[in-house]
Each structure stands twice: as structure tokens, then as C-alpha cells.
């Protein structure tokens, strides 16, 4: 039997101490210069104490004009490398790997950061009035994005992080290029899947050249957007083959966008058989196994050590990803790794106004990240309406405090 406590060697030669990963959750704790703070160090030290073999940061943006949140850290030529080194060294006394999730928000950049962000095409995101009309990128813009990812990857390695993840899911820029619903281009960056995946592949090649063959590179990819006319499972399987050819060390499977948040809320429309299997994207991982040998991480739904071990033993996945339990049940993670049979829980936040449920849940967990960093523990009782309003209020006030990088 393969257990979650066993180590795992990635194709690049790096060995993870065990098969549990803390998946990316946006921290929203950067200072006004988009730099990490003492809160980042405290938070990741807390998470490293769980014993998880891999910790992946929340969105670290490669372009400070295209933030997912006004509280994002940015890795670029203007970054204060000493502050980044301090964050990277927060795990110095642990056996955990700390990887940086690199991202570009594209059209999912909120109004408080950029009223007219760049995107593959001028397809606006309509969600609570938070997002402006995007501008279609020129080829020059696309080449600049590739360079930004390359620079961010170089910084990631130079300051001491142990790996990186390219975020190509959840409707961010690279996901926007992959999806025909948001990529309406007619040049070599749009149209068929070969063209829509070109930006992701070009970034991977430049990043690999920058960090070398022994540095872990992961990709987070949607199984599907769950939107009519969007990125579908057949598309995803073809992209997986491309990623394997590019030498990706770990593929994390997720799904959805801001408009259809499958990655955040377990929708009642998800097949009952999948619910019974606990992990939302496990069935799709099995389909990947049929066409690829790429190492697979699935995040979402794992709540017992026995089920984690079952999925690993069956060969369905290689790494178990968890997000919300690292907030609401962080004190139980060590016991889970020891094989103790316990039930991890995450809270579903529901309001009498069903249309705000995803915003309420998003706000609830955003607040818990801050709470854990500041207080060392979470606050499980919060008003759903206040949680829904939190993101708008927080982004507005945080955005007002943003400053240009120091010279």
C-alpha cells in the first residue's frame, strides 16, 4: 500500500518528504509595494509545522499592473530581493518544500488595480461589477508576458524558493488563452488548441531554460472551465500531452473560473459518484493516467487518511492536495500524516441570498488566511454577508494604499 506519509521523487530528481501538498490559497498580505511581510513568514512557518511535504504559495504575480488582489506579492525587476529571501527562508528549519505559484490575472484583474487590463481578447468578466473591459493583447504584449514569467522564475530560484508552479487554471491569463470562450484571436495565439496553448508552452520553455533541469516546475491546469464554449476535458487531455513533452514535473488538476467556481464550491450538479469518491477531480485524473505518465496532484475533497491512501495506492494520483483544511483543520494535519483515522472538515458558507454564496465563501476563507497569519488560529464563526462584502471593501481599501516600488 502507498501511504500519504511516503516520499516521492519528481522527474527532475527532487524528492518530496511525503505526498501531501498545501495547495495555493491567495494570502492578500503584501505591503503597499507588493512585497511580502512578516505575516507571510509566520503563516508559512505555521503551515510547515504540519509536516506537509509541499507548500505552494498563493498567487504571486509577474506583473504589478495585473494583480489578482491588491494584496498580492509581485516578483519582477523592481522586487526587494531581501524581503523575498526572508519569505523563502521561513521554512529553513523544516523538511517542507516551498514553491511559488506564478500567475498573471489578465481580465481577472479587478478595477481597483487596473480598469482596462490586458487579455487575449476584449471579453469582459461580469462579476459583482469588479472587473473592467479588457484590451486585446498585441503580439508585443504577449512577448512581454513571456519575459515577465522568465524573470519571475529566475527570481524564484535566486532568492531560495525550492520550486515553482505556473498557474494556467481558474480563468487567469494563461487559462484565458486556452479557452475559446475568452480567446477569440485569429493569429498564431488563437484559434485551434495548438495556437491557444502556445503561450503556456513558450513560457514553460523559457522558464526551464532559466531555472535548469533540476528545479521543479509544476503547472496548474483546468480539467474544464465548466462553461459553454469554454475549455473542455478533451482539450485538457491534449494539453496534458504537451506538458509532458515539455518536461513538467507535477501537474495539478483543478477546474472552473471566477464565473463558474468549481474550484471553490462543490456544486450540487457534480456527479453523485464523484461526491462519494470525495475528490472532485479524481475521475479526470484517471483519464490522464490512460494517456500520460506525468505526475499528478489533485486538490479538493480529500478528508481522511484512508481515502488519501486509497487514491495513492490505486495509482490514480501521486500527490494529495489540500487547501481549506490547512485553515479550518490545520491542527489535525500532522495526525493525518501519521495515519490516524480522522475526518478533516471545511466549512460551507451559505447565505439566505444564494447569489452571493460564492463571494461569501471566498471572503470567509480570505479572512481566515489573514486570521491564521495574525493570530495563529482561525475564527470559524463569521457572518456570510460580511464575508461577501469583505472582498470588495478589502480590495478597495488595499488598492488605495498601493505605492510604486522604491527606487
- The CA distance from 211 to 164, in Å, is 10
The per-residue pLDDT for 82 is 96
pLDDT at 275 over 70: no
Apex CA 344: angle with CA 339 and CA 346, to 5°?
160
**What is the average per-residue pLDDT within 379-401?**
87
User: Do residues 134 and 108 lie in contact, with contact meaning Cβ atoms separated by under 8 Å?
Assistant: no
**What is the average per-residue pLDDT within 375-381?**
90
Collapsing DSSP states into helix, strand and coil, what is residue 220? strand
The per-residue pLDDT for 128 is 66
Helix 384-400 vs helix 357-375: crossing angle, to nearest 10: 70
Terminal-to-terminal C-alpha distance of the chain? 55
- The CA distance from 112 to 85, in Å, is 28
The per-residue pLDDT for 270 is 43
**pTM summary value:** 0.93
**What is the average per-residue pLDDT within 187-197?**
98
User: Do residues 327 and 350 lie in contact, with contact meaning Cβ atoms separated by under 8 Å?
Assistant: no
pLDDT at 257 over 70: no
**What is the average per-residue pLDDT within 41-67?**
97
**What is the average per-residue pLDDT within 93-110?**
95
> 216-225, 260-269, 291-300 — which is least confidently predicted?
260-269
From the CB of residue 146, how many other CB atoms can be counted at a distance below 10 Å? Answer: 16
- The CA distance from 383 to 399, in Å, is 24
pLDDT in tens, 121-161: 999 988 767 888 999 999 999 999 999 999 999 999 999 99
Dmax (CA) for the chain in angstroms is 56
Residues facing residue 113 across a β-bridge: none
The per-residue pLDDT for 233 is 92
Strand 8-9 to strand 15-16: parallel, antiparallel, or no bridges (unpaired)? antiparallel
pLDDT at 354 over 70: no
The per-residue pLDDT for 286 is 93
**What is the average per-residue pLDDT within 185-213?**
98
Instruction: Identify each DSSP E strand in 230-370 by its residue range.
Output: 250-254, 296-299, 319-322
**What is the average per-residue pLDDT within 12-29?**
97
Q: Where are the domains of the chain?
A: 8-343
pLDDT in tens, 306-322: 999 999 999 999 999 99
Task: Report the candidate in 291, 293, 292, 310 with the shortest Cα–Cα distance to residue 301.
Answer: 310
- The CA distance from 349 to 197, in Å, is 35
Helix 357-375 vs helix 38-48: crossing angle, to nearest 10: 90
Judge: domain 8-343, CATH 3.20.20.70.
yes
- The CA distance from 174 to 206, in Å, is 15
Cell numbers linked to 247: 518536461
Q: Give the pLDDT band of residue 203 (cuts 50, 70, 90).
A: very high
The per-residue pLDDT for 360 is 85
Amino acid at each position: 500500500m502507498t501511504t500519504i506519509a511516503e516520499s516521492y521523487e519528481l522527474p527532475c530528481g527532487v524528492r518530496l518528504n511525503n505526498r501531501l501538498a498545501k495547495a495555493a490559497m491567495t494570502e492578500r498580505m503584501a505591503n503597499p509595494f507588493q512585497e511580502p511581510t512578516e505575516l507571510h513568514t509566520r503563516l508559512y512557518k505555521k503551515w510547515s509545522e504540519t509536516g506537509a511535504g509541499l507548500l505552494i504559495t498563493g498567487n504571486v504575480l509577474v506583473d504589478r499592473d495585473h494583480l489578482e488582489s491588491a494584496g498580492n506579492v509581485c516578483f519582477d525587476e523592481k522586487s526587494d530581493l531581501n524581503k523575498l529571501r526572508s519569505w523563502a527562508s521561513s521554512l529553513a528549519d523544516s523538511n517542507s518544500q516551498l514553491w511559488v505559484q506564478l500567475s498573471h490575472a489578465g481580465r481577472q484583474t479587478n478595477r481597483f488595480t487596473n480598469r482596462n487590463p490586458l487579455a487575449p481578447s476584449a471579453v469582459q468578466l461580469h462579476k459583482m461589477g469588479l472587473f473592467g473591459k479588457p484590451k486585446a493583447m498585441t503580439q508585443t504584449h504577449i512577448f512581454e508576458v513571456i519575459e515577465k514569467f522568465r524573470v519571475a522564475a529566475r527570481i524564484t530560484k535566486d532568492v531560495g524558493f525550492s520550486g515553482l508552479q505556473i498557474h494556467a487554471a481558474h480563468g487567469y491569463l494563461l487559462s484565458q488563452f486556452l479557452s475559446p470562450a475568452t480567446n477569440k484571436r485569429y493569429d498564431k495565439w488563437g484559434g485551434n488548441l495548438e495556437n491557444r496553448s502556445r503561450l503556456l508552452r513558450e513560457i514553460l520553455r523559457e522558464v526551464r531554460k532559466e531555472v535548469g533541469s533540476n528545479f521543479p516546475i509544476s503547472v496548474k491546469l483546468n480539467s474544464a472551465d465548466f462553461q459553454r464554449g469554454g475549455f473542455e476535458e478533451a482539450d485538457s487531455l491534449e494539453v496534458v500531452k504537451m506538458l509532458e513533452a515539455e518536461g513538467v514535473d507535477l501537474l495539478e488538476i483543478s477546474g472552473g473560473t471566477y464565473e463558474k467556481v468549481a474550484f471553490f464550491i462543490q456544486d450540487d450538479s457534480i456527479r453523485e459518484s464523484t461526491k462519494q469518491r470525495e475528490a472532485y477531480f479524481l475521475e479526470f485524473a484517471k483519464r490522464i493516467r490512460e494517456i500520460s505518465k506525468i505526475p499528478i496532484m489533485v486538490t479538493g475533497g480529500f478528508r481522511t487518511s484512508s481515502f488519501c491512501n486509497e487514491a495513492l495506492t490505486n495509482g490514480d494520483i501521486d500527490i494529495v492536495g489540500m487547501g481549506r483544511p490547512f485553515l479550518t483543520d490545520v491542527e489535525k494535519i500532522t495526525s493525518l500524516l501519521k495515519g490516524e483515522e480522522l475526518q478533516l472538515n471545511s466549512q460551507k458558507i451559505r447565505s439566505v441570498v444564494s447569489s452571493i454564496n460564492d463571494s461569501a465563501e471566498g471572503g470567509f476563507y480570505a479572512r481566515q488566511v489573514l486570521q491564521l497569519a495574525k493570530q495563529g488560529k482561525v475564527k470559524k464563526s463569521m457572518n456570510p454577508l460580511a464575508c461577501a462584502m469583505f472582498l470588495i471593501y478589502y480590495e478597495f481599501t488595499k488598492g488605495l494604499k498601493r505605492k510604486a516600488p522604491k527606487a
